[in-house]
Amino acid sequence: MTATDPALTALAQGWCALSLLHGRIEARIERALQSGHGLSVREYSLLDVLSRQYEGDGGHLQMKQVADAVLLSQSATTRLVTRLEDRGLLERYLCPTDRRGIYTNVTESGLKLLERARPTNDAALREALDEAAKDPELAPLVRVVESLNAPAAP
pLDDT in tens, 8-45: 788 888 899 999 999 999 999 999 999 999 999 999 99
5 occurs within a structural domain: no
pTM: predicted TM-score of the whole model, two decimal places: 0.86
CB–CB of 50/63 below 8 Å? no
1 occurs within a structural domain: no
108 occurs within a structural domain: yes
**Average pLDDT for the chain:** 90
CB–CB of 12/2 below 8 Å? no
Closest CA to 62 of 107, 92, 31, 17: 92
151 occurs within a structural domain: no
Q: What is the CATH number of the domain that holds 89?
A: 1.10.10.10
Domain of residue 78 covers 10-146
Q: What share of the chain is helix, strand, coil (3-state, %, to 5)?
A: 65, 5, 30
Total domains in the chain come to 1
CB–CB of 74/64 below 8 Å? yes
* pLDDT average, residue stretch 76-96: 92
